[in-house]
C-alpha cells in the first residue's frame, strides 16, 4: 500500500459561518446600563450598612414590642457553645455564625447583621452609609428617568421590553432553550430576556425607589398617601429589602447568562453597541440602525 498525501485543508473541520455584526444597543441603553451598575453596587452595600442598625424586618406600620410581627431577624446570642450568630426567617431559626449575626475571627468577633466586607463603610458608620445611600439613590432615579424618556422616543421600551402576546406564547419554548444552553443571538431580545428586563425595569427598580421614598419622613409629609399604599412603614421597608434581593438574584443570573452566551460578544454590545448575531440574521440596512 502506498502512502497518500493528506490534504490539510480537507482534513480540517469546516468553520462555522459567522452571523452579521449588527448595531443592537443605543448610546442611552449603554450609558444607563453602566450607571446602574455603579449606583446599584453602592446602594446595595450602603443599604446593608443602614440595615445593620436594626437587622430585622416587619409587616405593618410599626415594629412589635408587646407583639412579634417580625418576618426576618438577624442577631447573636450566648449559648452553651459560646456566642453564636443566628437568623430567624418566618419563625424558623438557623445558625449563621461566621456570615450573619456574628462574623470575623474567633478572637475578635463582630456582632453585626451583615459582615463588614458586605457594607459601605466596612465599619459601623450609619451616618456615612446614609449619605452614600441617598446620593446614589437620586442617581438611580435620574438615570431611570433618562432611560425611560429615551426608550419611549426610540421605541426601545415597546420593542424590547414590553411583552407582546407572541412573546408569551413563545416563552415556554425560549425557557426550555435556555435550560439547554441553546442561545439565539438575534436582533431583538428573546421572550425570556424581555420578561427579565420588564421585571427589573418596570417592577423592581420603581418598587425600590417608591418604597425608599415611603420611608422618608419628608416624603411622608408631602405624600402621606404613599406609605399607606404599601401598608405601613415597616411593610415598605420589608418590600424595599425584598426588591433588593430580587435585583441581586437578577444580577447573578445575568452574569451567568453573559458568561454562557459569549462574554466577549455580550460585553462588546454594551461598550460599542455592536453585537454578533447568529447566522441567518438580516444585517443592518444602509439607511440606519433599527434598535434602541
Domain boundaries, the chain: 19-50+125-276, 53-118
Q: How far apart are CA 174 and CA 228, in angstroms?
A: 39
User: In the Cβ-directed half-sphere of 10, how many Cα atoms lie within 13 Å?
Assistant: 3
Please, are residues 14 and 263 in contact by the beta-carbon 8 Å criterion? Answer: no
The cell numbers describing 192, all together, are 425570556
Confidence of residue 232 (pLDDT cuts 50, 70, 90): confident
The mean pLDDT of the chain is 87
Residue where the block lists cell 424558623 = 92
Q: What is the pLDDT of residue 63?
A: 66
CATH architecture entry for 19-50+125-276: Up-down Bundle (1.20)
Per the model's pLDDT, the better-predicted residue between 287 and 15 turns out to be 15
Give residue-wise pLDDT tens across range 21-49.
Answer: 888 888 989 999 999 999 999 999 999 99
Give residue-wise pLDDT tens across range 93-114.
Answer: 999 999 999 998 878 889 999 9
Question: Shortest CA distance to 75 belongs to which of 91, 95, 50?
Answer: 95
Q: Which long-range contacts (CB under 8 A, 24 or more apart) does 286-289 make?
A: 289/23
Q: How far apart are CA 136 and CA 212, in angstroms?
A: 12
Per the model's pLDDT, the better-predicted residue between 279 and 172 turns out to be 172
Confidence of residue 185 (pLDDT cuts 50, 70, 90): confident
pLDDT score of 251 more than 80: yes
Alpha-carbon dihedral angle through residues 12, 14, 15, 20, given to the nearest 10 degrees:
160
Q: What is the pLDDT of residue 243?
A: 96
The residues pairing with 94 across neighbouring beta strands, listed in sequence order, are 87
Per the model's pLDDT, the better-predicted residue between 89 and 105 turns out to be 89
Confidence of residue 71 (pLDDT cuts 50, 70, 90): very high
Which of these ranges, 52-61, 83-92, 206-215, has the smallest mean pLDDT?
52-61
Q: Where are the alpha helices (DSSP H) in the chain?
A: 8-11, 27-51, 126-154, 156, 165-179, 191-198, 205-214, 217-222, 224-229, 233-261, 263-271
Question: Shortest CA distance to 270 belongs to which of 21, 28, 7?
Answer: 28
Q: How far apart are CA 133 and CA 43, in angstroms?
A: 5
Q: How far apart are CA 205 and CA 221, in angstroms?
A: 23
Percent of the chain with pLDDT over 90: 60
Question: Shortest CA distance to 90 belongs to which of 72, 108, 106?
Answer: 72
Torsions phi, psi for 197 (to 5 deg): -70, -35
Which of these ranges, 52-66, 162-176, 203-217, has the smallest mean pLDDT?
52-66
Q: Does residue 12 sit in helix, strand or coil?
A: coil
pLDDT score of 275 more than 60: yes
* H or E, element range at 57: strand 56-58
Confidence of residue 288 (pLDDT cuts 50, 70, 90): very low
Amino acid at each position: 500500500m502506498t502512502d497518500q498525501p493528506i490534504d490539510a485543508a480537507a482534513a480540517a473541520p469546516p468553520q462555522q459561518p459567522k452571523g452579521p455584526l449588527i448595531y443592537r444597543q443605543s448610546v442611552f441603553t449603554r450609558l444607563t446600563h453602566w450607571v446602574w451598575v455603579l449606583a446599584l453596587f453602592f446602594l446595595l452595600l450602603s443599604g446593608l450598612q443602614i440595615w445593620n442598625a436594626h437587622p430585622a424586618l416587619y409587616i405593618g406600620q410599626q415594629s412589635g414590642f408587646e407583639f412579634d410581627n417580625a418576618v426576618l431577624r438577624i442577631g447573636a446570642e450566648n449559648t452553651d457553645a459560646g456566642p453564636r450568630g443566628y437568623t430567624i426567617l418566618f419563625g424558623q431559626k438557623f445558625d449563621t455564625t461566621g456570615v450573619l449575626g456574628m462574623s470575623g475571627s474567633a478572637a475578635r468577633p463582630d456582632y453585626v447583621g451583615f459582615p463588614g466586607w458586605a457594607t459601605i463603610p466596612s465599619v459601623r458608620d450609619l451616618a456615612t452609609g446614609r449619605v452614600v445611600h441617598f446620593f446614589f439613590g437620586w442617581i438611580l432615579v435620574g438615570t431611570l428617568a433618562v432611560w425611560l424618556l429615551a426608550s419611549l422616543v426610540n421605541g426601545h421600551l415597546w420593542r424590547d421590553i414590553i411583552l407582546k402576546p407572541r412573546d408569551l406564547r413563545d416563552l415556554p419554548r425560549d425557557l426550555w432553550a435556555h435550560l439547554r444552553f441553546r442561545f439565539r443571538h438575534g436582533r431583538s431580545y428573546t421572550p425570556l430576556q424581555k420578561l427579565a428586563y420588564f421585571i427589573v425595569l418596570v417592577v423592581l427598580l420603581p418598587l425600590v425607589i417608591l418604597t425608599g421614598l415611603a420611608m422618608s419622613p419628608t416624603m411622608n409629609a408631602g405624600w402621606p398617601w404613599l406609605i399607606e399604599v404599601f401598608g405601613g412603614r415597616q411593610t415598605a421597608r420589608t418590600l424595599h429589602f425584598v426588591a433588593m434581593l430580587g435585583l441581586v438574584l437578577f444580577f447573578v443570573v445575568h452574569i451567568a447568562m453573559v458568561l454562557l452566551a459569549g462574554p466577549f460578544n455580550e460585553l462588546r454590545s454594551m461598550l460599542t453597541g455592536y453585537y454578533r448575531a447568529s447566522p441567518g440574521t438580516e444585517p443592518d440596512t444602509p439607511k440606519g440602525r433599527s434598535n434602541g
